[in-house]
Structure 1
Amino acid sequence: MTDHSTAGTWDVIVTPWHLDEHIPAFPIPATAAETIRPALPAGPVPARMSLLHQAVADAVARAARPLLLSGDCPAARAAVAGLQRRHRDLAVVWLDAHGDFNTPAITVSGYLGGMALAMLTGRTPGLFDDALDPRPVPDTSVVLVDARDLDPAERDALTASQVRRVPADPAAITAALDALGRTPVYLHLDIDVVDSAQLPGLRFPSGPGPSLTQIEECLAAACATADVAGAGIACAWLPDRVNDQTTREAITRLVGALGADLAWPEPAAR
């Protein structure tokens, strides 16, 4: 195992959006390199998301080692597209309570956030009418961690795929990454993978799951094993909870597990 844990510093990019909706209260670290706030014209949600993702991809492509803090999982589509501008091949490690493997054909709710990993593997052609679409990541280059909360058709789609599924266990993630070889990795984390009793205010709580400490260990193991070219944390709390002290502390801990330090602005004087 090669130790990559201290290979380079992180450029924190903040995308304070959930799908096409801006989140005014989203916490912006004082140490952020860039915050993405494009003016989006009125129109269909996918069209607005396309413009947002173009801006995110450009920022990721400019960053030496991007770490994206976003309000949703589909922002990973933009992060991967940006990284693919300089990496011919890219693997994805996806830590999530959900599979995010729904498609327009099988989704029950129609929620675009539940299709994020399917987007990356080329299963949603035509969903976004733009030139951003990342090159599909082969199923064999995807490691899905946890995914304890799946829709029935989504479960069937994953079973039929070649996506590798592992538990939220550092040793299992290390073994899966060793099997991928030296391909650079995009490491994605949706904070709802953490036991929902430990993180109140999640948009989509999924009940009992791994502890925050266990997920920190998983992130550290991934960074110590693989060439993590970029990472993203979907800070998917409810809008009125995303800037709580407990959420900031969780974000700080998870970013710290990746080897980065966050500093937050001082509270405004009253």
Structure 2
Amino acid sequence: MTVTLVPYHQDERLPDSSFPLPGPDIIPVTRDLPEGDVWRRVAALFELVSAEVADQVAGGSRPRVVSGDCLTSEAVLAGVQRAGVDASIVWFDAHGDVHTVRSSTSGYIGGMPLRQILGADSGLLADPLGLRPLPEDRAVLVDARDLDPAEAEFLASSKVRRCGVDDVALPDGPLVLHIDVDVIDAGDLPGLKFPVGGGPSRDAVVESVRRIMATGRVAALDIACPWKLPEGDDNTVRARLLEDLLTA
């Protein structure tokens, strides 16, 4: 099993210990990032990610991408599209990630990628990556429960499908499956940067991912790991989770 590792949270290079991946077949994607704002820097990084994903899909493989945040999903979907696959997206996340630059009160860009996939603020990442926006009804948001008012307002009037992990309503055709590990209840996964309670168990998420993978329609798997290693933790919980998700 080959895993493409993007060891960054936005434009911050993370230590390799952040990603306890199984097996030796790891393709790291790194580069010296250019000067400029964060969008220019991540666009330069994600161009390499998109190219790697496109090469793997064109070669008949299913990319498995692991990174430190959800922005990488835009590069994964762009790469799948470059390879000629018109995929919808299934988005596991405790958060909505449907802010625009204008609607975000915090300015945290990790809260924007799903909305950008749907066409918002396209000049920041989508246009540089050649990412074609998806219609809202081709996006499924799974177990999002921590929404800002602007996100809740958008979702209430949008065609984005929403569901829980036990009953995911899949769109037709090929899929990019995106999993932010913070979709798991915070009590089951220590060390999350943005923990949210009241969510599904670790095992329920893994089983849901297995069911989706078993359809044979997943063109690429994208796993975001916005976590930090708690003091004294040996990373065993994270290593087992990544292995279960990557081999689902």
TM value normalised by structure 1:
0.84
What does residue range 160-175 of structure 1 map to in structure 2 within 5 Å? 160-169=157-166, 172-173=167-168
Q: How far 1:94 sits from its partner (Å)?
A: 0.4
Unpaired runs of 5+ residues, structure 2, are: none
Corresponding residue for residue 209 of structure 1: 199
1:41 aligns with 2:34: yes
Does the 8 A contact of 2:137 with 2:161 survive in 1? yes
Corresponding residue for residue 245 of structure 2: 254
Corresponding residue for residue 6 of structure 1: none
2:10 to 19, 43, 52: 19
* Alpha-carbon distance in 1 for matches of 2:234, 2:181: 14
Corresponding residue for residue 100 of structure 2: 103
Q: How far 1:245 sits from its partner (Å)?
A: 2.2
Percent of pairs with identical residues: 41
* Alpha-carbon distance in 1 for matches of 2:127, 2:219: 25
Q: How far 1:133 sits from its partner (Å)?
A: 3.7
* Alpha-carbon distance in 2 for matches of 1:139, 1:213: 29
2:78 to 46, 57, 81: 81
Q: Secondary structure at the match of 2:151?
A: helix
* Alpha-carbon distance in 1 for matches of 2:189, 2:99: 25
Q: Secondary structure at the match of 1:204?
A: coil
CA RMSD of aligned residues (A): 1.8
* Alpha-carbon distance in 2 for matches of 1:136, 1:73: 16
* 1:33-69 per-position Cα deviation (integer Å, ceiling 9, x unaligned): 4101111133211110000110111111111210100
Corresponding residue for residue 197 of structure 1: 187
Q: How far 1:243 sits from its partner (Å)?
A: 7.2
Corresponding residue for residue 236 of structure 2: 245
Corresponding residue for residue 136 of structure 2: 139
Unpaired runs of 5+ residues, structure 1, are: 1-9, 258-270
Q: Secondary structure at the match of 1:149?
A: coil
Q: Secondary structure at the match of 2:43?
A: helix
Does the 8 A contact of 2:181 with 2:223 survive in 1? yes
Does the 8 A contact of 2:85 with 2:174 survive in 1? no
* Alpha-carbon distance in 2 for matches of 1:219, 1:246: 18
Aligned residues: 241
* 1:184-208 per-position Cα deviation (integer Å, ceiling 9, x unaligned): 1000000000010111100100112
| Structure 1 consecutive aligned stretches of length 4 or more whose deviation exceeds 4 Å | 239-243
Q: Which amino acid aligns with 1:253?
A: D
Change beyond 3 A, Cα 1:78–1:239: farther
Corresponding residue for residue 229 of structure 1: 219
Q: Secondary structure at the match of 2:82?
A: coil
Judge which range, 197-206 or 116-125, deviates more: 116-125
